[in-house]
C-alpha cells in the first residue's frame, strides 16, 4: 500500500477512536425506522428527506417551517412517498419537545443552523445539518461542543466528501503522482450581471417573517431573499464564498494533514452589482460579486476566487479546485469529474467521470445519508463529521471576516482566536436579536 494512503487511513481511524473516548454511549440502535424530523422544508431540505425515505430507515414524524406553504407542500409529498403523516410545526422547540425525534435534519438558511442543531443534540437526536455549519465561527464551535457533549452523530451536508469522483481524485492526490503540491486554487464563476434594487413587500401569506429572521437582524421582507436568495444577504449567510467556497475548501481540508491556516486575507466588492441599497422601500443583495481570499497554510497556499457575472470561457473549467504540483495539475470539478494534466507533455492525462446519485441536482446526498445511518448504527464518526466540517466551515467565515475588516488576520487555530486584533475577534460572534441568545462555548 502506498505510504500516503496508509497514513490517511491511520489518521482517519485514530480520529474515530480518540474522538469517541469518554463521550456518552448510545442505547442499542433502534430496530427498524428512526423517528425523523425535518427543520426547513425548502429545496434542499426536501432533497435530503426524499433520500432519507428512499434509504428505508426513516419514519417522518414531523416537519417544521416558518412558511405554512412549505409545510403543506412537503407534508403532502411525504404522505405520497411513504404514507407517513408528519405533524406540522412552526417552532422547532415545540417540535423537539413534543415529537422527540431520533433524527433531525436541518436545512434552514445558514443563520438558523446553530440553535436548532444544538437543541436537537441536547434533546438526544442525531443530526444531519446542512453546510456551512453556521454563520459565525463561534456558533460552529458551540455546535461541535454540543455534539461532543451529547455523544450524537452529526453529519454535515458536505456531500463532496463521499462523491465517487472526489474520492478517486483524493486517492490520486495521495498516490504522489501530482508531486509536491505548493498551491491550490479554488474558484467558481457565473453569469450574473448588474443589479437594480427590488421593492420590499409584505411577506407571503402564512410566512412568519419575524421567525425566519430569528436571531439575525429583522429586515423588511424582500422577495429576492426567500426562498434561496438569502445566500447573498450577509445578515443571513456569507455570500458565494460561504455557499460554494465551503465545498471546495473542504476538499483542501480533506487532502491536507494541516488543521487550519495561519493567515487569511480577502478582498473584493461589487464592481458589477453596484452599491448596496437597503432601506424601508427597496433592497439589493449585499454580498460581494467579486472576491478573492487567500488562506496561507504552513506548507501551501490556497486561494479562492469568484465572480458572479462572467464565467471562464478561456479556461477548461468553471468551478472546482486546481491542485498544483511538481508533476502536474489535478483538477477536481463538479459535472466535469476530475482530470490530471501532467507536466510532461508526453505523459497521458488521467481522468475520472463524475457520478451522482442524484443527476438532476448533481449531488451525492444518498450515500452521505446512508453513511449517516451506518454511523449511528455502528457508533462511529460519519464521513462529513461535525468536527471535520467545523474546520472547513470556519474558513469561509474567516475569509468574510477579513473582507469586512479590510485587512489580513493571523489565526491561532488551536485557540480559535485571531492574534492581536480585538476588533477582528469581536466578529467571531455577533449579538443575537432578543429573545434569542448566542450559544455559549
Ligand atoms: N449540500 C449542498 O450541496 C447544498 C445545496 C443547496 C443548499 N444547501 C444548504 O441547505 C440549506 C437550505 O438551503 P435551501 O436552498 O433549501 O434554502 P430555502 O430558502 O429554499 O429553504 C430554507 C427553508 O427554511 C425555512 N426556515 C427558515 N427559518 C426557519 C426556522 N427557524 N425554522 C424552520 N424553517 C425555517 C424557510 O422558510 C425555507 O422554507 C442551506 O444551509 C444551504 O446552504 C446545501
pLDDT for position 52? 98
Distance of CA 109 to the CA centre of its chain: 11
Residue 93 lies in a domain: yes
In this predicted structure, the answer to whether residue 18 has a pLDDT above a threshold of 80 is no
Domain span at 53: 3-161+368-384
Q: pLDDT by residue (tens digit) across 149-168?
A: 999 999 999 999 999 999 99
Percentage of residues of the chain with pLDDT beyond 70: 93
Are 21 and 131 within one domain?
Answer: yes
Are 21 and 88 within one domain?
Answer: yes
Are 269 and 147 within one domain?
Answer: no
Are 351 and 373 within one domain?
Answer: no
Residue 362 lies in a domain: no
Are 182 and 279 within one domain?
Answer: yes
Q: CA end-to-end span of the chain, whole Å?
A: 41
Q: pLDDT by residue (tens digit) across 257-273?
A: 999 999 999 999 999 99
In this predicted structure, the answer to whether residue 15 has a pLDDT above a threshold of 70 is no
Ligand 1 pocket: which of 108, 216, 365 to mutate (most atoms within 8 A of CB): 108
CATH of the domain at 375: 3.40.50.720
Residue 304 lies in a domain: yes
Dist. CA 42 → ligand 1 center (Å): 6
Q: What is the mean pLDDT of the chain?
A: 93
Are 131 and 191 within one domain?
Answer: no
Mean pLDDT of 372-386: 97
Alpha-carbon gap, residue 135 to 428, rounded angstroms: 10
pLDDT for position 315? 84
- Please report the atom of ligand 1 found closest to the CA of residue 230: 19
- The protein residue with its alpha carbon nearest to ligand 1, atom 10, reads 107
pLDDT for position 431? 98
Mean pLDDT of 243-259: 98
pLDDT for position 3? 36
Dist. CA 41 → ligand 1 center (Å): 7
Instruction: Band the pLDDT of 357: cuts 50, 70, 90.
Output: confident
pLDDT for position 31? 56
Ligand 1 pocket: which of 38, 88, 127, 130 to mutate (most atoms within 8 A of CB): 130
- Please report the atom of ligand 1 found closest to the CA of residue 228: 19
Dist. CA 187 → ligand 1 center (Å): 23
The finding on whether 369 has its CB within 6 A of some atom of ligand 1 is no
Give 440's DSSP letter.
Answer: P
Q: Are 34 and 103 in contact (CB under 8 A)?
A: yes
- Cβ count within 10 A of residue 321: 26
Are 80 and 119 within one domain?
Answer: yes
In a 13 Å sphere around the CA of 66, the CA atoms on its Cβ side amount to 18
Are 404 and 255 within one domain?
Answer: yes
CATH of the domain at 213: 3.30.360.10
Helices (H), 215-357: 239-240, 246-255
Are 320 and 342 within one domain?
Answer: yes
Site of grid cell 412517498 = 81
The finding on whether 231 has its CB within 6 A of some atom of ligand 1 is no
Alpha-carbon gap, residue 388 to 404, rounded angstroms: 25
The finding on whether 292 has its CB within 6 A of some atom of ligand 1 is no
**pTM, two decimal places:** 0.94
Mean pLDDT of 239-253: 98
Length of the chain: 441
Amino acid at each position: 500500500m502506498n505510504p500516503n494512503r496508509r497514513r490517511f487511513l491511520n489518521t482517519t481511524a485514530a480520529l474515530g477512536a480518540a474522538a469517541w473516548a469518554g463521550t456518552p454511549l448510545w442505547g442499542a440502535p433502534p430496530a427498524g425506522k428512526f423517528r425523523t424530523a425535518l427543520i426547513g422544508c425548502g429545496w434542499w431540505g426536501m432533497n435530503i428527506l426524499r433520500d432519507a425515505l428512499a434509504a428505508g430507515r426513516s419514519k417522518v414524524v414531523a416537519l417544521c417551517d416558518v412558511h405554512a406553504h412549505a409545510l403543506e407542500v412537503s407534508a403532502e409529498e411525504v404522505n405520497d412517498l411513504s404514507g407517513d403523516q408528519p405533524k406540522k410545526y412552526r417552532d422547532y422547540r415545540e417540535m423537539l419537545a413534543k415529537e422527540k425525534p431520533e433524527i433531525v435534519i436541518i436545512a434552514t438558511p445558514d443563520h438558523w443552523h446553530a440553535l436548532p442543531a444544538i437543541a436537537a443534540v441536547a434533546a438526544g437526536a442525531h443530526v444531519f445539518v446542512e453546510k456551512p455549519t453556521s454563520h459565525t465561527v463561534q456558533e460552529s464551535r458551540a455546535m461541535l461542543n454540543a455534539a461532543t457533549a451529547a455523544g450524537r452523530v452529526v453529519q454535515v451536508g458536505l456531500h463532496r466528501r463521499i462523491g465517487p469522483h472526489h474520492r478517486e481524485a483524493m486517492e490520486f492526490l495521495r498516490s504522489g503522482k501530482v508531486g509536491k503540491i505548493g498551491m491550490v486554487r479554488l474558484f467558481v464563476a457565473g453569469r450574473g450581471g448588474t443589479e437594480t434594487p427590488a421593492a420590499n413587500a409584505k411577506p407571503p401569506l402564512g410566512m412568519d417573517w419575524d421567525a425566519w429572521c430569528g436571531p439575525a437582524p429583522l429586515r423588511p421582507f424582500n422577495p429576492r431573499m426567500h426562498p434561496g436568495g438569502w445566500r447573498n444577504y450577509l445578515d443571513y449567510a456569507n455570500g458565494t464564498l460561504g455557499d460554494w467556497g465551503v465545498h471546495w475548501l473542504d476538499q483542501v481540508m480533506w487532502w491536507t494533514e494541516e488543521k487550519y491556516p495561519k493567515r487569511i486575507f480577502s478582498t473584493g466588492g461589487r464592481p458589477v452589482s453596484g452599491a448596496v441599497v437597503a432601506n424601508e422601500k427597496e433592497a439589493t443583495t449585499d454580498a460581494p460579486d467579486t472576491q478573492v481570499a487567500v488562506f496561507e497554510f504552513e506548507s501551501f497556499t490556497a486561494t479562492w476566487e469568484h465572480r458572479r457575472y462572467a464565467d471562464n470561457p478561456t479556461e477548461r473549467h468553471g468551478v472546482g479546485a486546481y491542485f498544483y504540483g511538481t508533476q502536474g495539475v489535478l483538477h477536481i470539478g463538479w459535472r466535469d469529474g476530475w482530470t490530471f494534466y501532467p507536466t510532461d507533455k508526453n505523459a497521458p492525462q488521467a481522468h475520472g467521470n463524475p457520478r451522482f446519485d442524484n443527476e438532476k441536482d448533481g449531488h451525492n446526498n444518498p450515500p452521505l445519508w446512508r453513511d449517516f445511518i451506518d454511523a449511528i448504527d455502528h457508533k462511529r464518526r460519519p464521513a462529513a463529521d461535525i468536527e471535520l466540517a467545523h474546520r472547513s466551515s470556519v474558513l469561509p467565515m474567516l475569509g468574510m471576516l477579513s473582507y469586512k475588516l479590510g485587512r489580513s488576520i493571523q489565526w491561532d487555530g488551536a485557540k480559535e482566536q485571531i492574534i492581536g486584533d480585538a476588533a477582528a475577534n469581536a466578529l467571531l460572534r455577533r449579538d443575537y436579536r432578543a429573545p434569542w441568545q448566542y450559544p455559549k462555548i
